[in-house]
Amino acid sequence: MADLLTLPSAARRRSASAQAATAGWSAALGGLPAVLAPSAAAARRAVMAAAGVRPGDPVEVPPNADRALVEAVADVGARPRFRPFGPDLTVPRSSAPWAWAQTIGGLVEPSRRAWTDHADALPDLSACWACARLDAPGARVPALLFGLHLSADPATAGALVVCGDRQLAARVRVEVGSGSDLDWGAALAQRDRLIDLARAQRAALAELRRGLAEAAGLPLAPKTAVGALPHGVAVRVPEDAEPSTFLVYLRAERSGAVWLPELAPVHYAAFRGAQGPAARAAAAELSRWLLVPVGPGFTAEDIAHAVLGVVKTAEYLGIRWRTDPARAHAYAADLTARYGPGHDAYQPVFDR
């Protein structure tokens, strides 16, 4: 999926105005207000300015926020404050007035009300955005930011801001300005391309998740709700195994798996001062997660191979079906009955 983010140069484009492109995206999002910006950096600045972030204000960010997001907070004069992970890499609730959540390839849906940065993903146009009601009382997020990936140049790649609050959307639009650097026709072409691509990606994701849950039995990151189109399924290495060993064995199976710290390591500034211990804990938790990638063009055989790599690795290391200990030990007992004591097949390293 990551390889397909950028709009192909051969994609059919048509001339379009800013109004037409914005209306087209809003329609694809179930009528939710949309704002198009020339870049993710411009969109971040516009959201914070429109919300009223002032110089010196603390703005919470995840411990593994990328440098672009941290710099965007600093650029408006605010102070980045690193917030530790909650369960499953989610961002916990807090009393801070301003906060950014940032996903890794659209993998995890944040658990708190915050601006959510999906700059490394595309919006999921296969979802029912009309059902999202981001403007409803108690809405999870007031704004979602996506990269449009119209080109390889971050300055002109474009960005989309989906606002649950129409007044916020109007203010963001003012802060963005004319967006004269944005290719409006390309923005519409990306929308048109995404409709079928998102549907195919969601189907592949569902099959990969089903296979991993049923055959590997390892913890998986929660399914994402309306928002980004994930690049794959996140798998957590249980405490019974050592993460780097798991990763090396898995890569030997040619699964294409990616270690999450390679995609989004803990920001270096998070290790400073009193927040250092929390940052080290966040890095340790992040090290237990890996991405099993999938693409919209994956065949059943491709998905089966991706699942098999995780299954074989979990079996080698004695953690297969860690989420179902009774099944794991029944399977191990059956192997012992078949091959006798001392066999080198699966042996769980965890108790019942």
CA distance 87 to 104: 15
Total residues belonging to the chain: 352
Residue 345: C-alpha distances to residues 37, 217, 341 (Å):
55, 17, 10
Domain boundaries in the chain? 2-193, 198-339
The H or E element containing residue 343 is: none
pLDDT of residue 11: 78
pLDDT of residue 305: 95
Spatial neighbors of 266 by CB under 8 A, at least 6 apart, are 63, 64, 279, 282, 283, 286
DSSP string, 159-192: EEEEESSHHHHHHHHHHHTT-TTS-HHHHHHHHH
Please tell me the CATH code under which domain 2-193 is placed: 3.40.640.10
Q: What are the φ and ψ backbone dihedral angles of 75, each rounded to 5 degrees?
A: -65, -30
pLDDT of residue 226: 53
Spatial neighbors of 9 by CB under 8 A, at least 6 apart, are none
Q: What are the φ and ψ backbone dihedral angles of 122, each rounded to 5 degrees?
A: -115, 155
Q: Which residues of 4-15 are buried (b: 16+ CB within 10 A; e: fewer)?
A: bbbbeeeeebee
Global confidence as pTM: 0.90
Q: What tokens appear for 267 in the block? A: 């920001």
* CB neighbours of residue 235 within 10 Å: 24
pLDDT of residue 50: 93
Side chain identity, residue 262: E
Could you say which residues of the chain have pLDDT below 50? Answer: 136-140
CB 18 within 8 A of CB 178: yes
DSSP string, 41-110: HHHHHHHHHHHT--TT-EEEE-TT--HHHHHHHHHTT-EEEE----GGGPPPP-S-S-BEEE-STT----
pLDDT of residue 21: 92
pLDDT of residue 162: 93
pLDDT of residue 16: 84
CA distance 137 to 151: 37
CA distance 263 to 135: 32
Which homologous superfamily is 198-339 in? Aspartate Aminotransferase, domain 1 (3.90.1150.10)
